[in-house]
Each structure stands twice: as C-alpha cells, then as structure tokens.
Amino acid sequence: MIVSSQLDSVPVTTAIEFDNYNVRYDGAPAFVEPVSFHMSSGERVGLSGESGCGKTTLLKAVAGLLPANAQSSGTCIVTGAAGYIPQEGTLSLSPFLKVGTQVTNLNRSAAGNARLFALVGLEAPRYRDSYPHQLSGGERQRILTIQALACKPTVILADEPTAHLDPESEAAILKLISDYARETAATLLVASHRARVFQMLGCKVHDMGSSLDASPPREAAPARPPGRSLVSIRHLSKTHYRKDWLMRSIPAAQALDDVSLEIAEGEAVALVGRSGAGKSTLARCLAGRDSYDSGSIEWQVKLAGPDRAQLVQQDPSESLNPRFTISQAIAEACDTASADLLSQINLPPQWFHRSVSALSEGQRARVAILRSASRLEQGLLILDESLSGLDSITRRNIISFVRCRQAEHGLAVLLVTHDREAVHEFGCRIVELESGRIIMVTDALRA
C-alpha cells in the first residue's frame, strides 16, 4: 500500500488518467461532460465548478470509494497509493475510537503523528484523547487531513480540505499538504470553491463546469434598520465533560465562558474566531440543541421554539433524512412548500421530488438553509458554516434570499463563519470568540 518515492530518480509517470470517464447514479450522470484529463506524478490540479458538478464523485472514484449505486464508464487509472481527505468529518471518522487512535491505527510512528498534530495546531494532548463528536467541525477536518497524510500517500485527494477553517488554520493545513507533496513528490488533486486554496497550493485549475445554468444573482433588498431586541444572552457558560473509565465526569474544555450578547430583530451578527473557540456551541445553545451550565438566554418574542430559532448545522447531510425527497424535507418545516422555492437556491424546480440522498453536499446545504429560512418569519436563523461549501454565485443568491426575508419579516441572522465576504454582504456586526470568551465586537459596516 505504501509506496515511497525518491525525489531524485522520479521519472515522469502517469499518476491519474481519465479517459471519457463518467459516473452514473441510478442512471443519472454525475458529470455534465465525461471527464478526460491526465496528471503526471507530482502534478497539482485543482477542481473547480459549481456545487453539484461532480467534484466529490470524481475524487471518490479515484479513491475507490464510490457508493454501491454508482456505475462508472470510461477509464480511470490511478497509480500509487491514494490518500483521500473527505469533505465531511462526522461520518468519515469512527465515533467509537479516539482520534489519536484513529491516526495511530494508520501509522505507528508516534513521533511522526505528534509532528502532524502539532503542524495543524492540535498539539495539546486533549485533542488526541477526544472522540470525534467532542471536536469542532474544523478540528475534525484537520484530523481527516492528518489521517490521509499518515498513510504516506503518493496521490493526495483533498475535498474542500479547509471549508470549515479559519484563515490561520487554513494556511497551516494548506502549507502542510503542500510541503508533504513537495517532499514526497506526491500528486495533488484538490476540489474547492475558493481560488485562494488553489493559489496557495499552486494548482493548475480544471473547471468541471456547472451542473445547471446559474441564474445571475438577484438584487439584494435594502437593509432595514435593526428593531427591538430579539434575544439577550447573559453570562452564558458551558463546560464540556468527558467520562473516565469509571464513568465519572471530568471537565475537558471550557466551551463558553461568561458570554453576553444581544441580538436585535432583523439584525445580522457574525460569530467568528478560530476553530474550537465555542462558536458552534453558542449556536447550538441558542437553538436549544445544547444545554448550558449557567447564565440565561431570554427571548423577547413570544414564539414557540421552532419558530423562534432555526439552526442549519455544519454538516447538513446529517440533518436531512436521506430517505426524504426535497419536497418532504421542506414540508417538514413549513407547509407552504412549493417547487418555485428551489429557484431561490439555484436548484431546478423539477428537482422538487428528487431524493435528498441524490444531492451533493453543497446542494443539501442549500436545501437545509431554504428549509430553515422559510420556516422563520421573525426569529433567528443560525447558519453554522452553511455557506462555506458553496460556489460564489450560489452563495450570493442564498445571501440575497435570506436578506429578502430579513427585510420583509425582520428575521435576524447569526452567521458562524470564517468567510469575510459573506460577513460583508450581510453587513454583519462581528463578534469574535476565543476560548469561549467574546474578545472583540465590531459594529456593522453600513453599506
């Protein structure tokens, strides 16, 4: 499995070869056009294209991880050991093993593993002793990268390896991948929506095209001045516990430390900070998905829980029932679901009765946002990194859709993100968290 390569004597050989290659899921082709391209070993290629155009499928095909209902045609030849970095960490890591063990199982070298953990900024021993569900989305994503590199691959397949990461961690991960590829002359195939990722890795960009005709972004509705207070969070604190072998609770990490925040009706607030700073925890507490140790969350509007706050999770695939169709998934939240709504999120209306499981990660994220946004009128829409897996046109469309609802109904938005552009377009007040504390609040820039 492990092929070591000598830098000096590497002949230029084919690493990946696609010829007229296509994959069909239950008859429907995954790529708009059959893929034909060639990568020699050591080459770096970035796959770009609208969400749903088949980037993930192509990477999975190279990794040999296509699902059972996929049928491929044409040729796909891979030489060497593939190291696949999946897009999403909840399902890709075993929930039963500590992440340290999951890396050790792949590579016994303790020093090498410790170096990898340190390079991605997870050197504290508590990370290695955590189970995946105790980590934040960004931390899980970094673990996936460590895992792939611990296998010493000669072909690295990275699927949005930094979508959930803050700029600092992103730079660290990309440098790690880039350095590894340079040292071992590994081939690099990266899928991303962000040109920045390709730039930093020095990739040649291969555009896989769009899955459908992208409609131009709509005019954003004028912002409406924030109204009265919607929710006040006072002195919120929460500690994560873990259990020892006798099942006693031991404090593991301070997730929230005396957080106080006021959100007004119609306001947009961005929650930023390094991965693991407690952003998702605060979002989950607000949505009533998580409990907190002390402090209070007071809602000023008299609304039932689901009409008050809707949380769109970081990994939207987990929140949608895979056996549902899009229409069923949306009808679950609001009874006025109609096919026209799909155009708001850049999906063709005839997909209304398509199964959720046939969608790509990014498309599912869009359905999840649409579902939550159309449920709410006055409450708080919480988007936990929901926009990070989307291409720029789709993202802009969704932002204008949410902003329309903001202007019409006075919906407030809490954006958990690393994406400066989205923060800007929403005109957010920026709240920065670090180790569970609010360290800075920047007022909204009026556009």
Partner 1 sequence: MRYVLRRLVYSLFQLAIVSSATFFMFRVAPADFYSLELDNPQRRAASTATERKAHGLDRPWEAQYMDWVQSSLRGDFGQSLAYELPVRRLLAPRILKTLTVAVPALLLAWILGIGAAIFGVRTRVAATLDPSAAAAAMIPDVIAVSLLLWLAVAVGLRIDTPWLPIASLTGAIAPVIFLHASGELRHALDLEFVRIAQARGIRGWQLWLKYVLPAAANPLISLAGLSAASAVGSSFLVEALTGWPGVGPLFLEAVQSRDYPIVQTMLTGLSAVLILGNFVADIAIYRLDPRIRVI
For partner 1, the binding residues (CB under 8 A) are: 1-2, 63-65, 68, 81-84, 86, 91-97, 101, 105-106, 131, 133-134, 147-148, 151, 241-243, 246-248
Q: Which is nearer to partner 1, 314 or 344 (CB)?
A: 314
Contact 438, 432 (CB under 8 A): yes
**Contact criterion met (CB below 8 Å) for 134 and 96:** no
Q: What minimum distance in Å lies between the beta carbon of 27 and partner 1?
A: 21
Return the sign of the alpha-carbon dihedral for residues 406, 213, 424, 440: positive
What is d(CA 425, CA 447) in angstroms, rounded to the nearest whole number? 9
Which is nearer to partner 1, 147 or 310 (by Cβ)? 147
In the complex, least distance from residue 65 CB atom to partner 1, rounded to whole angstroms: 6
DSSP string, 87-117: S-HHHHS-TTS-HHHHHHTT---HHHHHHHH
Q: Which is nearer to partner 1, 310 or 313 (CB)?
A: 313
| Cα–Cα distance, 444 to 345 (Å, whole number) | 26
Output 244 or 335, the one with its CB closest to partner 1: 244
Shortest gap between Cβ of 134 and partner 1 (angstroms)? 8
SS3 content of the chain, % helix, strand, coil (to 5): 35, 30, 40
- What's the min distance (Å) between Cβ of 305 and partner 1? 21
Least Å distance, CB 76 to partner 1, is 15
DSSP assignment, residue 359?
Answer: S
Rama region for 426: left / alpha / beta (φ>0; ψ in -120 to 50; rest): alpha
Task: Give whichever of 109 and 215 is closer to partner 1, judged by the CB atom.
Answer: 109
Amino acid identity of 356? V
Shortest Cβ distance from residue 102 to partner 1 (Å)?
8
- Beta-strand ranges (E) seen in 208-331 are 229-243, 249-264, 268-273, 294-299, 309-312
Choose between 12 and 68: whose C-beta lies nearer to partner 1: 68
Shortest distance (Å) from residue 182 CB to partner 1? 22
Specify the residue, 67 or 125, whose C-beta has the smaller distance to partner 1.
67
Of 95, 61, 89, nearest in space to 75 by CA: 61
**Long-range contacts: 167-173, Cβ < 8 Å, 24+?**
167/418, 168/121, 168/274, 169/120, 169/121, 169/138, 169/142, 169/274, 169/275, 170/197, 170/418, 171/200, 172/119, 172/120, 172/121, 173/120, 173/141, 173/142, 173/145
Min separation Cβ 189 and partner 1, Å: 15
CB 363 within 8 A of CB 51: yes
Residue nearer to partner 1 on the CB measure, 37 or 241: 241
Is residue 143 within 8 Å of 119, Cβ to Cβ? Answer: no
CB 36 within 8 A of CB 20: yes
How many helices (H) and strands (E) the chain has is answered by 14, 18
User: Environment class of residue 32 by beta-carbon count within 10 Å: exposed (0-12), middle (13-18) or buried (19+)?
Assistant: middle
Q: What's the min distance (Å) between Cβ of 322 and partner 1? A: 12
Q: Which of 125, 432, 435, 401 is nearest to 257 (CA)?
A: 435
CB closer to partner 1, 157 vs 197 = 157
- Tell me the closest approach of the beta carbon of residue 181 to partner 1, in angstroms: 18
Is the Cβ of residue 28 or residue 247 nearer to partner 1 in the bound state? 247
Paired strand residues for 157: 84, 189
- Nearer to partner 1 by Cβ, of 86 and 389: the residue is 86
Smallest distance, partner 1 to C-beta of residue 101, A = 8
Q: How far is the CB of 382 from partner 1 (least distance, A)?
A: 22
The nearer residue to partner 1, 190 or 342, going by C-beta atoms, is 190
